[in-house]
Amino acid sequence: MENSSNCIPLSTMKESEKGQTVCIFGTGDFGQSLGFKMLQCGYNVVFGSRNPQSSSLIPKGAKILSHEEAAKESSIIIIAIHREHYNFLVDLREQLQGKVLVDVSNNLKKNQYPESNAEYLAGMVPGAKVVKAFNTVSAWALQSGTLDASRQVFICGDDVKAKNMVMDIARSLGLTPLDQGSLLSANEGENYPLQLFPMWRLPMYICAGFTILIFFYGVLTEVIYPYVKNKENTLYLTVITIPNRVFPIVSLILLALVYLPGIIAAIIQLYRGTKYRRFPDWLDKWMLCRKQLGLVALAYAFLHVIYTLVIPIRYYVRWWSDQYTINQVKSNNTYPFLSHYAWLSDSYVALGILGFFFYILLGITSLPSVSNAVNWREFRFVQSKLGYLTLLLCTAHTLVYGGDRFIYGYAYKWFLPPAFVISLIIPCAVLVMKFILVVPCLDSRITKIRQGWERNVKCSAELDIKK
């Protein structure tokens, strides 16, 4: 039989699982979808319902009985009912003695109740073995067979045998069970589907903050300043020119922010002389979202590249270029070739291309399929050494772009530094601190601390010698 439903083939199923009967309480969306999937994978399915006569709702091939009768048919009962309706189970305590009850429920809000739904169920039917599972899989995914985004099933429970039985079922449905330990971790599993990109929130806020700030800085210096000074209308610059300043600047700052927490952590460890003390919470959070910060930075670098590629076809650019040529013709004067500008322009483009290449390499190695194929040392080499190289190249790209404009007064409108100068502050600070930290005496001290050495703890051998 072709396995189009993601189930593992019947031939590879354990003898005990073949033709096993599983009971599902509740004929709602989830009960039906899970039942449908189980039937496809070779299980016998019996539904327990308040209305056993409404058999038209259930998938073809399944039986529908009252809760009491259905419970007798199987040692595993999946409770596909919302927690708010669990009360009726109290009356079934006797029938549910020794049975494996699978709690699949989710809540509407995180930590909605004092205890997890699974613990609540276990308290309600003390004689049963409660296992939390399947709550991270959607009814739609089960029915449509598109389990790509939600193959992982967190499973927890206090009875190891019961947990293994549920893990076997998950496997035979083509899912990936992950043992999360005892029922105490059910709360975490129940909160999981309610999370909305928790690791992306901080990077997004930082990115949005810098984007808005740099955009308005650009509007102030490129649009408001020429209007106030010369009544010149340059509002059109807000469409491509200013965004094409915002993207590289924010990208460079975010890339530096990926490496800054590592440096702060190293300084804290050097200062404390130990690694056995927790970092402040804000630093922990920052470190945990470095990958997401880097990916947002890469996305902005991409936008910068695309916006830069369209420069030659822009009307505004072509008009200036024509004017440049016309002015030379009018004045019968050919402007001289300035080789140092050629150097600056070529170097700046070359550094940008190389920086972008390593940026992409960093992005690719952060993909799980690629990072799984390299060992820890290789991963660290790419993310740390190549990461710093990328930061160095991108910072150099910006420095060379600035060229000698740093020293010309006309670039400082209303005494404000050009935006690219602002973009260099954090990356340069990060690079300088990194260069200081790799000085051998500091580097060896950090390495020692990270291997477990502590400044204020004398090793026993040292103490023995002194005695």
Residues lying near ligand NAP in the complex (CB under 6 A)? 26-31, 49-51, 80-82, 85, 88, 104-106, 135, 138-139
The nearest distance, CB 142 to ligand NAP, in angstroms, is 8
Comparison of 144 and 444: residue with beta carbon closer to ligand NAP: 144
Nearer to ligand NAP, 116 or 383 (CB): 116
Smallest distance from the beta carbon of 40 to ligand NAP, in angstroms?
A: 17
Judged by CB, which is closer to ligand NAP: 14, or 50? 50
Min separation Cβ 175 and ligand NAP, Å: 12
CB of 111 to ligand NAP, least distance (A): 15
CB of 65 to ligand NAP, least distance (A): 11
Q: Least distance in Å: CB of 369 to ligand NAP?
A: 27
Which long-range CB contacts under 8 A does 50-56 form with residues at least 24 apart?
54/27
Closer residue to ligand NAP (CB): 88 or 357: 88
Could you tell me the smallest distance in angstroms from the CB atom of residue 36 to ligand NAP? 12
Looking at the Cβ atoms of 135 and 423, the one nearer to ligand NAP is: 135
Considering beta carbons, is residue 49 or 423 the nearer one to ligand NAP? 49
In angstroms, what is the minimal distance from the CB of 113 to ligand NAP?
Answer: 13
The strand order across the sheet containing 76-79 reads 63-66, 44-49, 21-25, 76-79, 100-103, 129-132, 152-157, 176-179
Using CB atoms, what's the residue nearest to ligand NAP? 28
Q: Which is nearer to ligand NAP, 41 or 79 (CB)?
A: 79
What's the min distance (Å) between Cβ of 161 and ligand NAP? 24
- What is the Cα–Cα distance from 55 to 49, expressed in whole angstroms? 9
d(CA 97, CA 166): 17
What gap in Å lies between CA 285 and CA 398, rounded to an integer? Answer: 29
Residue (83 or 290) nearer to ligand NAP, CB: 83
Q: Which residue lies nearer to ligand NAP by CB, 76 or 81?
A: 81
